[in-house]
Structure 1
């Protein structure tokens, strides 16, 4: 469970500017855009043509052009974004800003993931794959579900578009209202000496207090009902009392994760990515510290207490930036009676008609994990732990790939709020190509070197060789569904960027959940944890396919066929690279050296195979690297 720009970038960027769609890709992504996704070339206005007399290349070429050609490339070096061009073209500075945002997000994502591994190593070292670790992992379901609903997906899908719309209205108000004038109730301008109400501050004032009350009640209810929750999640658990104690400790995350997710959505909409990207660093530090300090006294309950402490640190990590960008004190209004009317106008995305589809989608997605643990509770002790360790490590490539979509989601949401559907389409198609390349390269490494990865990370203390073998086997099966997980995360964001509520993602996720449940019941008895992992891969891949087919006809008109062909070529390259790593891994007995060699071998085979298959992403990336070395750009 992990997710992770520059924090100072948001302060340097005027909040009143509209966030334009960009065709430039961040340098920090270091990944190409799919040349297989052609689009019409847009002519630059004369002013931009002069400003970009010698533009650097974009990661994705325009149709009929070689990789690295086209306007609005990576050479953009503007420190801050420019206002939207009058013709709706891209702002020159946005590509450079997204590059910095992606770079900082990438660093903190890797750091948070590394600390997550240290956390899992500490738990594996002290508790191994045992009844105690299984009890903790049942309680871990609470923060895992809360993180998905309140930080990573649900709150972001709901609030980033809401804050983006509020920022758009703020910019429109400032553009249409001259200094010294105000807007009367009938829409006519009238003189006034004070500014009108700020839409962003109104949104915070209306939503944050109510959210805190609701989440506090939810956390209290979960603490009281912990025995019933444990009984539903794991009816076959050997020691339910320990799991109940851990669940009550982790229940506080319902409140703390909700506040964290609210802060993250607000800051990202304001283009401040550093504090949200750092929350999992603080979170894992809290868990590790409590586990190391108190495991001898409290046992596995120390890790559960660390979850509560770490979640409080997540709030403190973002609080200063949130208060700076979004002061809670509202400005003094000339006519306070307008606040309620304006607040409703500013937050149309927060009604139940929009909230319900998001909640159902997120809960259905996280229910995949609930199904797995329910089925695994009927297997021998340690099965839940094997699934957990395998899933956490296998999903690291997916987490890294989705950092691209995390940074660009406010761009898509702002484009949709401004009615710029074509810009949103280009951005979504590029995100799918970039994220697909990252996750499939990681999939190839997991397929080839799963035993070495688990041995290096976990094989010590109570975690023995048999645990390594079982976990590695499950991790290879999980790898089959990594592209599906990545696509679900990337495709769900555009669905919820529109002001119109849509139930299609919930339908797609529910269909995938039914596939997971059916396949899980059919395969678990015969194949154990491997059958559970296979069911997960089948279910999430079904959801990804439905979302890919449905996005173009409902929200953003992406070219699903072109995207599918592009991802198919990358999948072929990943299969060849993974097979090469699987064959070569046993040739080096030492796990660390074998894994180090694999980190060179697998990417080399992946890119060579991509060239042979004429994958546009691979061709464009290598052309970009060659140009950087030859031209020094």
Structure 2
């Protein structure tokens, strides 16, 4: 646990807190762990709600537009916000700015007279957080605005590069111009999210996808008659603005007040802190920090580019089938990373404070928990893929043939879920240091090469399922290489112990998937089968995990028993 502990307050309706003095005892036994559990639970709940709204969004688009050349054109345009989301919200921005804000907060805490001080007390040019915002936000937002304008102007060329075999490039160009604004809005939203998470304020960042999907749904409902599938692209633009709006009040509350020229507003008896250098020598250092993270994020998202490029030459609907399969299958992965999302600022702060051992213990536990969640969810997805797709999408223009095609793709894609989850969890400790390493980018490049070669070899034989299989193979190899590398670089975890635990969980997941797959056809309608699977798969997983002595399962069972006894 970090010596600077955020203690949840009873009022305010969210996970707000104050920073306890370094070295101070916890306010109550297990306080930091209780905060992590509570923050993870709230983050998971809001993320699950955002994912649910995302499924409603996809159901609405499938119902109104089906899976055809028009939806393929929209999904090619959706590549822009998908890449922007990875770069500017989920990966690059968070991996660069959370450690930067954590370091600034650590330096603020070290200033005399500011321990536990509110942002307003730290106002003025001496505050490290204020200097960080002043030196990064204006230039970053201006650059993102220029990139958004350039992308809108170059939409025809971009569509031709992304999907040269597309039947309807005109629709894709129109949609791309509408979604180009997300380069700016996602960047602002990601910057706000990084700052708030570093301050251990998790509710507004976790709510952004609820706002995003609400904007898309409302816009599609209002405009689909007049604009067709272009209404979905307009909804993406509207939803991205809402992502900024939902975080803006909390961000402003956490930022130090602007200096007013009244020197009495500064904390009394506090010597002037040494300024950070802001001249030309700082620019190469900034690029050195950003470049490896950005290259990793681009290389990771390039898998989507490869998939859509190859699928554009397949029969109409292939891109849509792959997209719907990924959207459903990725839900367990997203949920598995919630703990890592909450603990990443703690790991970054521990590394900034020079406490590598505490960071190592946190990372090892996070990897095991993430593996447990994603493997259990992946077993359910594999076992009940046809029932899930029928239940979620089979209505309107989305027919039974689309269900069969999407379910078959989803089962193959789900084989790589553990790799996706581990990659997302492992890059956080790699990039928690002040100066990130190039290893993840190089490793992700190797995985991407495997995906490209594998897809080219598999597509002629298995079509869109070959693309999903190549994706799974590439990301699994990437995760294994990252796991092995972390044992010798950055936070030196016990790779052998973590790998052994994950292998046991994988055996339990395979057993649970086989049990659910065997029982699924015997349990009536799609709704009845999916509901029964919520009991069958976890039960089989738990029994198998206990048999192979998988980690975390006994601890979870004992925790549930304690809560049941407490409830009585």
Q: TM-score, normalised by structure 1?
A: 0.82
**Alpha-carbon spacing, 1:165–1:244, altered in 2? closer, same or farther (3 Å):** same
| Distance in structure 2 (CA, Å) of the matches to 1:308 and 1:602 | 39
Unaligned runs of 5+ in 2: 8-15, 267-271
1:495 touches 1:555 (CA, 8 Å); kept in 2?
A: yes
Structure 2 residue 459 is the aligned partner of structure 1 residue 519: no
Shift of residue 175, structure 1, vs aligned partner:
5.4
| Distance in structure 2 (CA, Å) of the matches to 1:513 and 1:163 | 31
**Alpha-carbon spacing, 1:376–1:437, altered in 2? closer, same or farther (3 Å):** same
1:519 touches 1:535 (CA, 8 Å); kept in 2?
A: yes
In structure 2, the partner of 1:102 is 40
**Alpha-carbon spacing, 1:530–1:342, altered in 2? closer, same or farther (3 Å):** same
2:40 touches 2:342 (CA, 8 Å); kept in 1?
A: yes
From 154, 159, 164, the counterpart of 2:92: 154
2:108 touches 2:114 (CA, 8 Å); kept in 1?
A: no
**Alpha-carbon spacing, 1:482–1:194, altered in 2? closer, same or farther (3 Å):** closer
| Distance in structure 1 (CA, Å) of the matches to 2:54 and 2:40 | 20
| Distance in structure 2 (CA, Å) of the matches to 1:308 and 1:200 | 30
Shift of residue 328, structure 1, vs aligned partner:
6.4
In structure 1, the partner of 2:434 is 499
In structure 2, the partner of 1:208 is 137
Root-mean-square deviation (Å): 2.8
1:108-187 matched pairs, under 5 angstroms: 108-174=46-112
2:123 touches 2:258 (CA, 8 Å); kept in 1?
A: no
| Distance in structure 2 (CA, Å) of the matches to 1:414 and 1:344 | 26
| Distance in structure 1 (CA, Å) of the matches to 2:556 and 2:90 | 29
**Alpha-carbon spacing, 1:540–1:89, altered in 2? closer, same or farther (3 Å):** farther
**Alpha-carbon spacing, 1:194–1:272, altered in 2? closer, same or farther (3 Å):** closer
In structure 1, the partner of 2:473 is 538
**Alpha-carbon spacing, 1:18–1:628, altered in 2? closer, same or farther (3 Å):** closer
From 388, 396, 412, the counterpart of 1:461: 396
Unaligned runs of 5+ in 1: 1-16, 23-77, 180-192
**Alpha-carbon spacing, 1:571–1:444, altered in 2? closer, same or farther (3 Å):** same
| Distance in structure 2 (CA, Å) of the matches to 1:18 and 1:246 | 49
**Alpha-carbon spacing, 1:531–1:331, altered in 2? closer, same or farther (3 Å):** farther
SS in 2 for 1:393: helix
From 282, 292, 297, the counterpart of 1:357: 292
Structure 2 residue 345 is the aligned partner of structure 1 residue 414: no
CA deviations on 1:567-588 (whole Å, 9 max, x unpaired) are 0000000000000000000002
From 525, 539, 545, the counterpart of 1:604: 539
Shift of residue 99, structure 1, vs aligned partner:
2.1
1:324-473 matched pairs, under 5 angstroms: 324-327=253-256, 329-330=258-259, 332=261, 341=276, 351-473=286-408
CA deviations on 1:105-146 (whole Å, 9 max, x unpaired) are 111111100000000001101111111100000000000000
Structure 2 residue 561 is the aligned partner of structure 1 residue 626: yes
In structure 1, the partner of 2:247 is 318
SS in 2 for 1:121: helix
In structure 2, the partner of 1:573 is 508
From 490, 508, 515, the counterpart of 2:425: 490
**Alpha-carbon spacing, 1:201–1:332, altered in 2? closer, same or farther (3 Å):** farther
Shift of residue 101, structure 1, vs aligned partner:
1.1
1:20 touches 1:90 (CA, 8 Å); kept in 2?
A: no
Shift of residue 98, structure 1, vs aligned partner:
1.6
1:21 touches 1:415 (CA, 8 Å); kept in 2?
A: no
| Distance in structure 2 (CA, Å) of the matches to 1:371 and 1:435 | 27
**Alpha-carbon spacing, 1:610–1:207, altered in 2? closer, same or farther (3 Å):** same
SS in 1 for 2:88: helix
**Alpha-carbon spacing, 1:606–1:21, altered in 2? closer, same or farther (3 Å):** farther
2:96 touches 2:431 (CA, 8 Å); kept in 1?
A: yes
| Distance in structure 2 (CA, Å) of the matches to 1:341 and 1:419 | 20
Shift of residue 620, structure 1, vs aligned partner:
1.5
In structure 2, the partner of 1:72 is none
Shift of residue 349, structure 1, vs aligned partner:
11
1:215 touches 1:254 (CA, 8 Å); kept in 2?
A: yes
Shift of residue 102, structure 1, vs aligned partner:
1.2
| Distance in structure 1 (CA, Å) of the matches to 2:114 and 2:220 | 56
| Distance in structure 2 (CA, Å) of the matches to 1:619 and 1:438 | 15
| Distance in structure 1 (CA, Å) of the matches to 2:104 and 2:534 | 45
1:282-301 matched pairs, under 5 angstroms: 282-301=211-230
